[in-house]
Structure 1
Amino acid sequence: ISKHDLGEVYANMVARLCDLERSYNFVNKTRGFPKVCKKRPAELDHWVRDGRGRGAPPVVSNVSQFVTTWNDWWSELQPIWRRGKDGLLQEEYGDNWELLYAPGANGMLGPVACLYWWGVAVLGEDESSVEANGPVAVWTEAVKDVTWVLEGLI
C-alpha cells in the first residue's frame, strides 16, 4: 500500500492507519468487520485470498464499477449515526465505533488497500503526473473520509 507516491492526502491516511494499529498494540484479530449485505470490491477478495500482498497486487481495470462497489460497501460498514437524511455519510462523530473495531489485517487495512489500488488506477504511479479532476477528486474525497474514520477510531 505504499509502493507508489499517491500524494500527501494518501500518506496522511496511511499514517493514521499506523497510529490506529499502534493504539491496538498491533493485535491481529481474526474477526473482521461484520457481514454486510453489500459485497466488498472483488479486488479486495482477491488480495485476501492471495495472502495480502504475497502475489501480484490487484489492478482496478474498471474504475467506475470499482467506485460504485466501494461506495456501497464503505457506506454499509458505517455506524448508523453517520448517515444523513439524504443517505450520504456525515462527518459528525457519534457515540460508538464498535462496528469498525477490527484490529489487524481484517480491519481498516482492507479499505486502505482498496484506496491504494483505486489511487494507482486514477493517478498512475505519481500524483504529480495527473490533474485533480473528476475521478481523482472522487478518490481524494474517499481517502479523506477514511482518514476521518481512522481519526475517530483512534
Structure 2
Amino acid sequence: MDEIWQRLVGLWWEKEKARGFAGPTRGYTEGRPIQVSEWVRYAPKAPVKPAIEDVEAFGQKWWEWWVLMNPNWRERSSFAPRTHPRLEQTMGGEEWGAVDYSGPNGILNVLICLRWWRDAIGSNDDEEYWMEAVEDVIWALETIK
C-alpha cells in the first residue's frame, strides 16, 4: 500500500510543482462526498480526518464522484462485485476537464479523500477496492499531458 500511495503522491507533486501550485478557487463539486464539502467549507476548523462510519458507502461515493469528474470519452464499465461503473483506461480525447485541476481545490481533494478512505479501511476486500481507485488516479495523472 505504501509504495502505490507514494507513487500517486509523487505524480501529484510533480504536476503541482510544474504549475506553481496554482489552481482554481473552486474545485469540482458535483457528486463529491459530503466529507469533502464539509472539510472545504470549514477548513480552518475542520478535523484533519473526518469520521467515516460506512467505508463501503464512502468508497462508492468516491467512485461516483471520480466518474463524474472524468471526461465522457472515458468509457464506463461494470466493476464487479460493486454496483457502480468504473472507467476504462483507454484514450479517447485530449481534454481532461475537472481531473486536470491544480491547486488546493483541484485533484488534491481527490487525494485527500482517498487517504481518508484508506485510513478507514478494515478489511482486505475494501483495500482492494481502494487500490483500484488509486491505480485509476495514477493512470489519469500519467496520461494527462
TM-score range with shorter-chain normalisation?
0.7 to 0.9
Structure 1 residue 55 displacement after superposition: 3.5
Pair 53,15 (structure 1): closer, same or farther in 2 beyond 3 Å: farther
Change (3 A) 1:23 1:53: farther
Counterpart-to-counterpart distance in 1, 2:46 and 2:64: 27
Please give the secondary structure, in 1, of the residue aligned with 2:66.
helix
**Unmatched 5+ residue regions in structure 2?**
79-84
TM-score (norm 1): 0.78
Q: What is the distance in 1 between the residues matched to 2:69 and 2:110?
A: 10
Matches of residues 18-37 of structure 1 in structure 2 within 5 Å? 18-33=13-28, 36=30
Match for residue 134 of structure 1? 125
| Residue 91 in structure 1 maps to residue 89 in structure 2 | yes
The answer to whether the 8 A contact 1:46-1:58 is kept is no
TM-score scaled by length of structure 2: 0.83
What does residue 62 of structure 1 align with?
Answer: 54
Give 4+ residue runs of structure 1 displaced > 2 Å after superposition: 52-56, 84-88, 98-101
8 Å contact from structure 1 (residues 58, 117) kept in 2: yes
Q: Could you give the per-residue CA deviations for residues 86-105 of structure 1, whole angstroms, max 9, x where no partner exists?
A: 65311112322133232201
CA contact (8 A) 1:20 1:153 kept: no
Greater strand share, structure number: 2
* CA pair 52-135 structure 1, distance change in 2 beyond 3 A: farther
Which consecutive residues of structure 1, in runs of 5 or more, have no partner in the other structure? 1-5, 124-129
Cα separation, partners in 2 of 1:150 and 1:52, compared to 1, 3 Å: farther
Deviation at residue 54 of structure 1 after TM alignment: 5.9
2:4 to 2, 9, 25: 9
Alpha-carbon contact 2:63-2:86 (below 8 Å) kept? no
What's 2:81 paired with?
none
Cα RMSD over matched residues? 2.2
Kindly tell me the number of residue pairs found equivalent between the two proteins: 138
